[in-house]
Structure 1
Amino acid sequence: MQGTKRADINLGTKVKIVQKQDQRSGKLTEGIVAKILTNSSTHPHGIKVMLESGIVGRVKELL
């Protein structure tokens, strides 16, 4: 499932995100959502979240 809809993502959801510096390579980082940073209901590049580890990125996959 893609991470472009805010309604699909909840706190505690396990996701794979792409960090800003990894956007060219497409490297994904796995973690659990601690905070949702995007206010709009959808975003074409993925909803921006902060993981429990403090890493910020856009959601590419929901696990």
Structure 2
Amino acid sequence: MRGPAYRASVDMWTSAPEPRLGPVTIGDHARIGANAVVTIDVPMSATAVGIPARLLGEKSMG
């Protein structure tokens, strides 16, 4: 039995459209750029942009 195509977490910021390919997890407080094609897991508090999406950095939670 297959699980969901993706798993989104709390307080995730996205700009539409934001296609996801494959089983990916988007962490808490993550930000996804407009038109980013997410093919990797995005860790907590990270920013992902581009085609395919790449990680830019993490935002401060303090």
Q: What TM-score results when the alignment is normalised by the length of structure 1?
A: 0.24
Q: Which has the higher contact order (CA 8 A, sep 6+)?
A: 1
Return the structure number with greater helix share: 1
Q: What TM-score results when the alignment is normalised by the length of structure 2?
A: 0.24
